[in-house]
Structure 1
């Protein structure tokens, strides 16, 4: 549940691209907590998620606010049941987040472009400010992933900065990350991220970069966000109340995905296996 968006690559032993919201400074999940029964659990937050997928395109909204960590800071005895057990968070992971970040973890071996500029991924720990209005392209083998930041808000309402971060832990695990910072310290409000992602063949790089048909619009009023895009496969839209966790409107999804167990190229192979 902590990995709210994933992209798997065909290359063996390659880090999975995955997005998580983090309140503990553990972007790669290498510092889990251990429960009394010996099981380890991630320290990642469990945000509100609303998404629409149409073939290889995804429009998604992720948001974490006071309702996300309220159960984590509620006083209770050691024997009290964990209200978040079904989400994968352990009793020992309770406590107020010390920051609020969204991480998109990438393979260290990936080729990376910000707009038309190819960015060599550094081999030493560093951070690079990313112009989030530009299309980001991530190429791994024959697979290309296009990423657009549509909306990224700090808890104070300002724009969340986006950075390419190479750190010691990531280098040790063959990973790097794109990180949006919603709060540098203990969050006192809501952090929200809306992104569009498309997966394509590596040969489509120039086509994706020169796609003049892509348009997007985002409006936020109180706790309600309205995100819509027009892209290669048509329009997609998400309207959601972030505080209530209410997905008011989801439009533009591929109808063949409705009720699918495991869909690959429009075919529900999961349902075939289980039937």
Structure 2
């Protein structure tokens, strides 16, 4: 385990017990058994560490649900069930962090934390909208934005039940129940509240596209981590293509497909696919 990973895991344990504000860099370094100098070689400040933790967990979450939505084998109610299953399984797997993030968002005035939350929230909206378009197409043209917020409401309320109230969780039943409810709303809702104009107004807050330079930086980090392999070679070629746009769409698709099955590359796959859409 690298020092950076050790710091992040130690900090997470302390944040879970004490919250962000009550935890000091001194406590983190003592808990992880490293010097303050080693801490500041990895992170410029505690705030940078907090943002790195948020990025780490939210990138995993976003890329996991994006993987489900873009898998051509997932269709109909099975796609909805897997979407909800992935969502709640992720909350369950990272429950300590999820609790901290939800609590801190409710009480903080940290603009960077609020902006970070809005950014990832919008990414989830985009993936959810893509799923709804696949499932229902033009039949929900006037109610699709309301459906996004209904789905987010399900995710928010039901995750709170097992994160904060220790409600026994039968994940399979929950996901089938929510898939059924979503279908009913899609099929029978007729009165929209959220218009195109209102939704675009929401989008203008906290949704900045990642630049090509930022994507390349993430790819370079992953290239360093991987041993010689077809996945590493695919990343090298795609990194060059992000700069030059010299590959054909078919070759790009094949190279991205080489990465798709690797869980630790799903965030890069998500970023690349959105980059090539622009």
| Fold conserved between structures, TM > 0.5 | no
Q: 1 or 2, which has the higher strand percentage?
A: 1
| TMscore range, shorter length | under 0.3
Select the structure of larger CA radius of gyration: 2
Q: 1 or 2, which has the higher helix percentage?
A: 2
Taking structure 1 as the reference length, the TM-score comes to: 0.27
Taking structure 2 as the reference length, the TM-score comes to: 0.27
